[in-house]
Amino acid sequence: SQQGEEDPQALSIQEGENATMNCSYKTSINNLQWYRQNSGRGLVHLILIRSNEREKHSGRLRVTLDTSKKSSSLLITASRAADTASYFCATADPTSGTYKYIFGTGTRLKVLA
C-alpha cells in the first residue's frame, strides 16, 4: 500500500511560473524525501527534510513539512521546460524499519515553453 499520496496527479504550467505539489502520508516519520523521475529514467533524489524541520531550500526548490497534518509540499520556482518530470515523495515508518522507504503516487509536471 502507498505510504504517500501526491496531489495533484498532474500539473501543467507555463515556463516561468511556480509549481506546487503536495504529499500526504500516513504514519510517523523521521524524514521525508522528494525525488524526480524523468520519462524512461530512474528516480533522482532532490531534497530531504527531517521531521524536526519545517522548511528547507535547495536552489529553486522549497520544501515544507507539517508533521501535525502529515503533509509536505514541494515548490519549484521559476519553472523551466527541463523541470518536466514526475515528482514523488518518500517516507519511512520508523516503527516498521527506519530505512524502508515507501513512495507516493507521484505528480506529473509538464512545463510548457
Partner 1 sequence: DARVTQTPRHKVTEMGQEVTMRCQPILGHNTVFWYRQTMMQGLELLAYFRNRAPLDDSGMPKDRFSAEMPDATLATLKIQPSEPRDSAVYFCASGLAAGAGANVLTFGAGSRLTVL
Which residues are at the interface with partner 1 (CB under 8 A)? 2, 29-31, 33, 35, 41-45, 48, 50, 88, 90, 92, 94, 96-106
- Are 79 and 13 spatial neighbours (Cβ–Cβ below 8 Å)? yes
**Shortest spacing between CB 65 and partner 1, in angstroms:** 14
**Shortest spacing between CB 83 and partner 1, in angstroms:** 19
For partner 1, the closer CB: 1 or 14 = 1
For partner 1, the closer CB: 63 or 90 = 90
- The grid coordinates listed for 3 are 505510504
**Shortest spacing between CB 2 and partner 1, in angstroms:** 7
For partner 1, the closer CB: 15 or 94 = 94
How far apart (Å, rounded) are the C-alpha atoms in residues 72 and 67? 8
How far apart (Å, rounded) are the C-alpha atoms in residues 76 and 60? 6
**Shortest spacing between CB 68 and partner 1, in angstroms:** 19
- Are 67 and 54 spatial neighbours (Cβ–Cβ below 8 Å)? no
- Are 72 and 32 spatial neighbours (Cβ–Cβ below 8 Å)? yes
For partner 1, the closer CB: 42 or 59 = 42
How far apart (Å, rounded) are the C-alpha atoms in residues 14 and 1? 34
